[in-house]
Structure 1
Amino acid sequence: PQGTILYTPCETPAPDSVPRTQGQEEECGVPSKPHVSVLGQRVLSLISGRAVKKPRKVRPQGRRMMRGYTTETGGGGDDGGHIPPPPQVSHNASVLPAVQVLDTPTKSPFDKKEYRVIRLDCGIRVLLISDAGRFIAGAEEEDDSEEEEIDQNEEDEVDQSEDDDDDDAEIEDEEEEEGDIKGGKSGADSTKYLAAASLTVGVGSFEDPPEIPGLMHFLEHMVFMGSEKYPKENAFDYYIKKHGGHDNAHTDMEHTTFYFEVQECYLHESLDRFAQFFINPLMKQEAMTREREAVHSGHEGRGSILSCLKKKVWAVGLYSGNDESGFEHNSTYAVMSISVELTDEGFKNIDKVLCIVFQYMAMIQRAGPVERIFREIQQMEQLNFDYAEEPTTIENVENLSEAMQIFPPVDYLTGDTLMGDYNPQIIKECLDALVPEKCNILISSKTFDEQNICHLTEKWFGTKYSVEDIPKSWEEQWANLPTNPELHIPATNHFIPDNFDLLSSEKDVPEYPEKLCQDDWGELWFRQDLKFKLPRSYCYIFLLSELPLQSPRLAALLDLYLNLFQQQVMEDVYPANMAQYQYSISASERGIVIKMNGFNQKLSKLLDLLLHHMETFGDNLHEKAFQEIRQQQMKSYHNAILKPGIVRKDVRLSIIQQVHWTAHQKLAEVKNVTSKDLLEEFVARLFPSCHVQMLVQGNTTASQALDMYSMVKATKEKHLVIEKCPLPELRTLELQSGCWVARVNGVNSADTNSSVVNYYQYKEGSLMLEVILEFIQMVMDEPVFDVLRTREQLGYHVFCTNHNTFGILGLSITVNTQANKFSVSHVDERIEAFLEEFMTTVKNMKDDELSELQETLTSMKQTIDLTLREEVDRNWSEIVHAEYVFDRLKRQIELIKNITHESVINCVRKITSSDDNTGYKKLSVQVAGAAKPEGRSPPSLESLMGNTGIVQLLEPNGESDRKLPVERFITDIGNHKKQLRLYPVTKII
């Protein structure tokens, strides 16, 4: 192992307590990567214009989807019994082995953590991090420093709405009604401030034998399956989650990283269990068989390539750079990739698109190194480093342990972030390599499958492809490219800030946001930050409108409007993005959500830019662009319909929500809309029909927040508004007692993937019920994974989730499986069998175990916010739900003490048990994959264009279905909903 990190709030030993050996310096001792590094990556990406944006780091293949903070009962440790507290560890220097102290990493002036790098006798280099100063500072802050908000976990599927699969991100709704239990902490963002450790081994997938690809990834899985000292499978998972943490691992090309976080007092015992992975793993044959099955299962501104292609309506997106994954950047080579998302017209003119790409390359080669651009990039990287928000502990140790594979100790923190001295020669060498002769071209299109022109098949994944020489005619074009006057290097960036003063407050800052303004147009909430002491601010805006609730047509027009808006604003907002300002604009079932953050000096300038584009949207709408974006939108709906996870979500929400428009319905509507429809039916009615909710928080004064609210209000006032707009409210339908099944065949007949969710509706929520359900989910999370995924191998993706659907609470278990292995009815039965077993586990829970779990849940809710964003997001959740319980976490912490064994048993029985239970309300939504997909292809977009938008539900079939009366199968959602009563509007306050 070349890099290990221990991250703990405890202080590291004092300098004089660590014995030093001869020589305090150490060379890196690891293979160096090609000297493209940070400088080369940033400047190479000039060809797309993403010159100052750090490429996105791609996560390598992992052991599994990262699950959030949870705990498990009924096992753990090597004896499956109670886990004793860790032994007391002496910090006396006499018990420490001899170590060599190496150079201390360079850190930001605002970084309060202390670092020490040592090398053990065995050769392992260790980075120790002490963050005791944050606890001292935190104690001086107001009580809100102990608050944090997250969405309940669905593995790493955390959006405000629902249990989307991670591959469902293509068409997400930010449905605030499905925000899960607010105030809870049980997702990847739940354990924000714990002790953590990460170990990176300098061996990865490049070491796989040619005849056994994936062997290293398989080994990464296997070390978690028990050791000689702790032989119980998943004992490490159990221990970590029982003590408020989580763990994971991933395999890259040249390294493999294992990491975990846990409550600080359990770090020592956790490290011992962690070390056994690498000392004496069991590698049992039975476990190997089961895990083998599991494993199978740029410059966008003016003058850029994208700007030029968009004018011709040939492209809607361009992404370039080096993603820093092991595949694109390793000790053997580095690559520069450019991905262009083409329109249909662009696909027809792909040779001309390539000419424009190479024209840009030729242009920047002629221009040579431009020091101004380098200095802008260097300045922004330095500012981002100096004023960076604190990363999560587990993210921090993971990234740093990987950096230890590459950089010398002094550069552990800065090596992949900061740029060194200006070296035009290196830039020129990189630019000179960007020539057509060194280029490979990959073209991906579904039309190839329809035309049957891909005759080769990849061995492991069965992907169809073909390989051809680049046409000579193309090469001749590239050899004689004329200068393109539409292309030029980025202009000076006027969004780069130069004022980083921290603003003082003339009065005491309240503990929570206060309402600065409320009128017929909306409301403004504000809180000035004096805790994180960074020159950053956040501005969130919700334009609430009843329009998207009125029909699937208007909901589709909203999606279309936002896609067109983002295309129109892209060039102008690009400099802001490069200056580390971030913005997002997304559709909600109740309107539009705009989020912005960055250095406070020019945040209002970004807001003004976005509002200006909203006002001039119609003037900048061109028919050809409209047609292409509409086509892209139809493809997005089409791709969503092909995914079992999205269909599962759409069916469930269509049944339990008063209003929910599915991707099927929106596809059926959007195919017929015109640009005139968009402007008259939606855009002209948006501002007159909307109510504004707004939150400004950070290094901003109240007067500045009011100025920003006035900017939004002025935009709205330009539209004729007759009367005050009502706030749109969504309500939930109460399921009838008993079990109900909604089953549908997956649209993609070539896909074996099935998805089943068993949703158990409870009742109107309260703060106490929120806490009890979160406690139950915490207890259930590990065993549901262990039983249904690990033991029964039903699917790779198994999880349980709490739900808060407009104030109505519930619980669900989701299993994604394969139709050629298990039927959806079998999965349903196994979920029910698990719940019976889980009921026994809950009944047998001992008092000391209950107390320990209460303590864990309390500790998780008491962790301090690491970033301003965490506090802002928590406050925003209260505002958009109109509940305003800003001290929700404090109240929940007090209520945890009132959880009794009896209350947990009663809650589990009422939610999940059908025995003599009139309140039992279960909805099983089952999306069945194709059991025999061979020789089939996914349905084309054209084949779905005649779809009415109605999801066709199936009647029962098979022996197992006979256990349920036929009338319990929902075959018509609309008719079924007519039999259900509406819950009243419910706020959990």
Structure 2
Amino acid sequence: GSLSRSLLPVGVTGRKLWSEAGRKKKNKRRRGGRKESPPVLLLATMPGRNKAKSTCSCPDLRPNGQDVGDGGRVVRVGSEGSLGNAGDPEIVKSPSDPKQYRYIKLQNGLQALLISDISNLEGKTGNTTDEEEEEEEDEDEDDDDDDDDDDDDEDSGAEIEDDDEEGFDEEDDFDDEERDHDDDLDTEDNELEELEARTEARKKTTEKQSAAALCVGVGSFADPDDLPGLAHFLEHNLGMLKYNLYQGFELFFNQKQKCLLFFRWAQFFIHPLMIRDAIDREVEAVDSEYQLARPSDANRKEMLFGSLARPGHPMGKFFWGKILKLRRNTHIGSSKKYFCLVVPIRKIHALTITWALPPQQQHYRVKPLHYISWLVGHEGKGSILSYLRKKCWALALFGGNGETGFEQNSTYSVFSISITLTDEGSEHFYEVAHTVFQYLKMLQKLGPEKRIFEEIQKIEDNEFHYQEQVLEVTFLLRVIAEALNQLVPHKANLVLLSGANEGKCDLKEKWFGTQYSVEDVENTWAELWQNNFELNPDLHLPAENKYIASDFTLKAFDCPETEYPVKIVKTPQGCLWYKKDSKFKIPKGNMPPPAKVVVLFDIFVNILTHNLAEPAYEADVAQLEYKLVAGEHGLIIRVKGFNHKLPLLFQLIIDYLAEFSSTPAVFAMITEQLKKTYFNILIKPETLAKDVRLLILEYARWSMIDKYRALMDGLSLDSLLSFVQEFKSQLFVEGLVQGNVTSTVSVTFFSFYSKLNFMPLEQEMPVQFQVVELPSGHHLCKVRALNKGDANSEVTVYYQSGTRSLREYTLMELLVMHMEEPCFDFLRTKQTLGYHVYPTCRNTSGILGFSVTVGTQATKYNSEIVDRKIEEFLASFEEKIENLTEEAFNTQVTALIKLKECEDTHLGEEVDRNWNEVVTQQYLFDRLAHEIEALKSFSKSDLASWFKAHRGPGSKMLSVHVVGYGKHEPEEDGAPSGEDSGACEGMQLLYLPTSPLLADSTIPITDIRAFTSTLNLLPFHKIVK
């Protein structure tokens, strides 16, 4: 409670929506580190190389109170001769940061930053940072850099089903019969006493994470011309003799000039390994990663941009690597003034304007590009985006430097502005570019403004004091002006991505096959931009920001302190959970609606977000974050940030919700963009595979294809306004407030909803889908991928367990933990089936199961061969589990217990966990403690018996194949093939026949609706006991 920040998520549902609240991937297996020694983070650069710019000023400091002894070892002696733990006082850190920092330089030239964090260990307490990591549930398809990771995270052994890229959250199904609506005040008092007792009884020892990193000044820029991708390839072959090949490190991350490695460095440098059979396997892995990257417009655009550099410049190198050893061809010189037309993979219109600037790394204390991007990316009145939105030309704008190795290094720095255009905007892209140039010219004429700089500095200072450390910046007008004056039209590169460019592009980028053309700027615009063009009076600097917090007083408790949230409001219209320390949310809704109603809900939330963009942007830059999510069963409103001005933002959102309106132009713009969003989700094999799997398992779910087709059939603004009115008329609101907020203020937040004037729901609605019971046997649903230029296939083999207890859920979690390493070793390392290989513990709307997923390529393997190999692995794993030693079993149990005991590193982790319990109506806030107790009760025979029972006769098995395009997957009659054939505009599932390989052992699914209509439904279920 040392931080004055609050988190406020909210979900609302209406009569016409299912009453499931949105949720992220919570309840993942907690990841932790060793307790035996204090966590240490070591950051170092090798001598003679460019230093990595740290977020503190330590590279400029001399070691304080340190002796460098023989061999370069650093010794620090306390007053009584013992080792001290005091940090260097010269290193500036946040007042709320309990860690100690020390900078040292060894005799061999290695520079290191040591970070010690021993707060809250062994019963000791200390201030904790209130860092709120941004939740990645907003997977906006407008962002070209979006990787659209779904729930299948290979780092997670325990997963709760999560929904698609658009930010919809899918959650567990839970039995409404277990929800007691007869709780009175006495019951709530008893609950409070019980929670207080559990708080006192809870073990105080916790686990903390450890980490170490090494930065070496060499990377992909150093690749030889005849071995493109060498640095990336070496990433896959790191290993050392003592620690058995590749098991000695956690992660290797390769950038253009630097390599960041997590592993046991000493042995790596003493005896690195390069084993021939490992090399052959990892060539396949590198190629698989390249194949996965090829359909990404962001990767293709970056590769194209690099290819247009002057011949010989390292940015023109091919960093990914592939099986064939190819030499770099001659690049187009960058001195010519031009713009590029590009044909994207996804349905998108985007204009990217890029400048190559002199290196800016040395100005890290001034941060000139941060100042410029803050203004260029502003969304308030007078901004570029505000002007373009009013003309219905643009939906989003991103500007700045991403500080990746490609965008910022010792040879250049990139400043780019990427604008997501509407259909109309793509026809006026010259006018859009001119608006950008007018804004930049206005900034150049005004020069750097100290008021703006100090406002940014104030916001960053708030973050510095109450979140992670950031470097104190200095206002140097000359440095900012020099960078700003580089951003002129004649030095800009323009790239227009649009499907309308199909047929206009006669060039193809060598490595990713991107179709593009290089055009001269039209004479009219070229002449205008060379002259002293007029400024736009609608563009101006932002006004003073009223949302910047100034009151950071820590609020005193106005009710008994508890470890877990307690219910402080309960009415027929909703209820509120409270814990002093961070967040507010609200869920739920109604009967299964037709697909078009679900689409109308998506449109409603998108337009509401659009309407809020300008008035709420000042709050956003003041570190007050908000998110609106169209969940499967209701609206989620999430607000977080410094509590001082948080009520202003929350009330603003409720006001816009209560007074919702839309113009025909905005309605047309949003619906057109939503078509692209649905389309872009569907053309990815991994998201289509998830959509198909959940369409089979969850009764009454509408697939993304259903939604896409409903939208293509046409919807009207009148139908939207009627839907919104009906939606707001009957609601159930459930919320959680956690943070530096008193319970009294929390109730005030809840009262804001009175402006909506809604009635209670006529009947209580479940917060999940009902799940079908799979019949015994191996069922196979095999469909063709929807992007005909994509070789990637996705194969998931799923075993359904059923309605299980918390103990069985934890047992499955332990099983998957045992499975992870042998799964990776068998399917990826030895069989080289694909880059993404992982087992997952699945909680699908309360129904337990587990799966193994492999991402492969149709250019290398048939999906049925991959399915067969997964079964081979599971058979070998069954034998491995039966022969597991007691020592190995106990080691894994202990490891999982330590992971679950690992303390939360920031407030957001605890809030996410608590909100998950509220939004799924489980309310088991001490779930981790119950899971730890269950783990202590398991035996080796429990594990073996459970796995054998689910793999034996009568097992319920579902394989989902999304099949890519390549030589190992035969084409259907009349189906076009090849990279230039584009995506399937009809957006209809094409079921593929089973080959003789699996024909005798599987039951084909060739019509999902027909298959599921005959199946029994499992009861709603909560995994709470």
Query: How far is the alpha carbon of 1:803 from its aligned partner?
Result: 0.8
| AA at the equivalent of 1:982 | L
SS at match of 2:413: coil
Checking the alignment, whether the CA contact within 8 Å between 2:173 and 2:846 is kept in structure 1 is no
Distance 1:286 1:860 in 2: 34
Q: 1:490 to 1:138 in 2, by over 3 A?
A: farther
Whichever residue aligns with residue 923 of structure 1, its letter is: L
Q: Deviations over 1:699-721 (max 9, x none)?
A: 00011000000102x1332x466
> Deviation of residue 582 (structure 1)?
1.2
1:133 to 90, 113, 119: 119
Superposition pairs for residues 592-607 of structure 1, below 5 Å?
A: 592-607=635-650
Q: Which residue of 2 aligns with 1:187?
A: none
Segments of 5+ residues of structure 1 without an aligned counterpart are: 1-5, 15-25, 40-90, 143-148, 180-190, 238-246, 261-270, 390-412, 530-536
| Letter of the structure 1 residue corresponding to residue 992 of structure 2 | L
* Pair 1:630-2:625 in alignment: no
Change (3 A) 1:797 1:623: same
Structure-2 residue corresponding to 1:582:
625
Q: Residue 814 in 1 paired to residue 853 in 2?
A: yes
Relative to structure 1, is the Cα distance of residues 307 and 94 closer, same or farther in structure 2, using a 3 angstrom cutoff?
closer
Q: Which moved more, 1:287-296 or 1:310-319?
A: 287-296
Match of 1:186 in 2: none
Question: Which residue does the alignment assign to 1:328?
Answer: 407
Match of 1:276 among 252, 260, 267: 267
Which secondary structure does the structure 2 equivalent of 1:195 belong to? Answer: coil
Other-structure match for 1:496: 548
CA gap of 1:951–1:38, structure 2 versus 1, over 3 A, is farther
In the aligned structure 1, how far is the partner of 2:53 from the partner of 2:489? Answer: 21
1:2-21 mapped onto 2 (5 Å cutoff): none
**Which deviates more, 97-106 or 249-258?**
97-106
Which of 480, 490, 514 is matched with 1:437 structurally?
490
Equivalent-residue separation in structure 1 for 2:52 and 2:925 (angstroms): 48
Counterpart residue identity of residue 589, structure 2: S
In the alignment, which of 238, 242, 256 is matched to residue 229 of structure 1?
242
Do the aligned partners of 2:157 and 2:813 also contact (CA within 8 Å) in 1? no
Equivalent residue in structure 1 for 2:961, among 926, 931, 944: 926
Structure 1 residues 297-318: Cα deviation after superposition (integer angstroms, max 9, x where no partner): 2111111000111111111000
1:782 lines up with 2:821 in the alignment: yes
Distance 1:156 1:854 in 2: 18
> 2:561 aligned with 1:509, yes or no?
yes
Tell me whether 1:987 sits opposite 2:1022 in the alignment. Answer: yes
Which of 84, 91, 99 pairs up with 1:105?
91
1:540 aligned partner:
585
Q: Name the CA shift for 1:940/1:626 in 2 (closer, same or farther; >3 Å).
A: farther
How much does 1:764 deviate?
0.8
Q: Is the 8 A contact 2:730 2:761 kept in 1?
A: no
Does residue 349 of structure 1 match 2:428?
yes
User: C-alpha displacement at 1:427, in angstroms?
Assistant: 2.0
Paired letter, 2:801? Y
Q: Report matched runs for 1:125-204 at 5 Å.
A: 125-135=111-121, 154-155=153-154, 162=161, 170-177=165-172, 193-204=208-219
Matched with 1:259 is 262
- Cα distance, 1:431–1:303 mapped onto 2, change above 3 Å: same
Q: Deviations over 1:747-804 (max 9, x none)?
A: 2222111111001000212111011001001010111111111111111111111111
- Paired residues of 1:691 and 1:727 also in contact (CA < 8 A): no
Q: Deviation of residue 558 (structure 1)?
A: 1.5
3-state SS of the aligned residue for 1:584? strand
> Is the contact made by 1:528 and 1:697 (CA closer than 8 Å) also made in structure 2?
yes
SS in 2 for 1:222: coil
Structure 2 Cα separation of the partners of residues 159 and 628 of structure 1:
39
Query: Match for 2:552: what amino acid?
Result: F
Is the contact between residue 606 and residue 670 of structure 2 (CA under 8 Å) also seen in structure 1? yes
Q: CA deviation at 1:610?
A: 0.9
* 8 A contact 1:33–1:331 mirrored in 2: no
SS in 2 for 1:704: helix
Q: Flag the structure with more relative contact order, 1 or 2, with Cα contacts below 8 A and sequence separation at least 6.
A: 2
Match of 2:1005 among 970, 977, 982: 970
SS in 1 for 2:694: helix
Q: Shift of residue 586 of structure 1?
A: 1.2
- In 2, Cα distance between equivalents of 1:578 and 1:629: 24
SS at match of 1:664: helix
Q: Distance in 2 between matches of 1:834 and 1:824?
A: 15
* Partner AA of 1:557 in structure 2: L
1:861 to 893, 900, 903: 900
Match of 2:85 in 1: none
Aligned to 2:307: none
| AA matched with 1:438 | K
Q: Aligned to 2:887, which of 834, 842, 848?
A: 848
Pick from 247, 252, 261 the counterpart of residue 249 of structure 1.
252
- Matched letter for residue 521 of structure 2: I
Per-residue CA shift, 1:437-479, capped at 9, x if unaligned? 211111111222x32x222222222222222333332121222
Query: In 1, are the aligned partners of 2:559 and 2:743 still within 8 Å (CA)?
Result: no
Alignment deviations for residues 943-967 of structure 1 (CA, whole Å, 9 cap, x no partner): 32xx5xx6343332x22033226xx
SS at match of 1:654: helix
Classify 1:723/1:934 alpha carbon distance in 2 versus 1 (closer, same or farther; 3 Å).
closer
Which whole-Å CA distance do the structure 2 matches of 1:567 and 1:141 have between them?
Answer: 39
- Tell me the distance in 2 between the aligned counterparts of 1:541 and 1:577: 21
Tell me, in whole angstroms, the C-alpha distance in 1 between the residues paired with 2:223 and 2:499.
32
- Structure 2 distance, partners of 1:439, 1:865, is 45
**What does residue 291 of structure 2 align with?**
none
C-alpha distance 95-133 of structure 1, shift in aligned 2 (>3 A):
farther
Q: Which amino acid aligns with 2:466?
A: Y
SS of 2:980 mapped into structure 1: coil
Which deviations, in whole Å up to 9, do the C-alpha atoms of 1:798-828 show, x marking residues without a partner? 1111111222100000111111211111111
Q: Assess if the C-alpha contact under 8 Å between 2:629 and 2:635 holds in 1.
A: yes
1:568-613 deviation digits (Å, cap 9, x = unpaired): 1111111111111111111221112121110011111111111111
Inter-partner Cα distance in structure 1 for 2:39 and 2:633: 54
2:992 to 927, 949, 954: 954
Q: Which residue of 1 aligns with 2:706?
A: 665
Instruction: Show the counterpart of 1:482.
Output: 534
Give the Cα separation in 1 of the matches to 2:39 and 2:284: 46
- 1:777 to 1:551, Cα distance in 2 relative to 1, 3 A: same
Counterpart for residue 60 of structure 1: none
Tell me the equivalent position of 1:874.
913
- Give the Cα separation in 2 of the matches to 1:133 and 1:192: 11
Letter in 2 for 1:129: I
Task: Give the direction of change, closer, same or farther, for the CA distance of 1:706–1:318 in structure 2 (3 Å limit).
Answer: same
The answer to whether the 8 Å contact 1:33/1:329 transfers is: no
Change (3 A) 1:127 1:443: same
User: Is residue 658–residue 756 contact of structure 2 (8 Å, CA) maintained in 1?
Assistant: no
Q: Per-residue deviation at 1:321?
A: 0.8
Cα distance in 2 for partners of 1:497, 1:172 equals 29
Once the two structures are TM-superposed, the CA of residue 38 in structure 1 deviates from its matched residue by 12
**Count of residues in Structure 1 that have an aligned counterpart in Structure 2:** 824
Find the aligned partners of 2:821 and 2:38 in 1 and give their Cα distance.
Answer: 33
Residue 681 of structure 1 and its aligned partner are, at CA, apart by 4.5
Q: Does 1:381 align with 2:460?
A: yes
Distance 2:562 2:240 in 1: 52
Give the secondary-structure state (helix, strand or coil) at the position aligned to 1:794.
Answer: coil
When normalised by structure 1's length, the TM-score is 0.79
Q: Of Structure 1 and Structure 2, which has the larger fraction of its residues in helix? A: 1
Structure-1 residue corresponding to 2:226:
211
Question: What amino acid is the match of 2:266?
Answer: A
Q: For the structure 1 residues 206 and 159, does the alpha-carbon distance in structure 2 shift closer, same or farther, using more than 3 Å as the test?
A: farther
Secondary structure of the equivalent of 2:579?
Answer: strand
Mapped contact 2:68–2:75 kept (Cα < 8 A): no
Paired with 1:439 and 1:664, the residues of 2 have a C-alpha distance of: 40
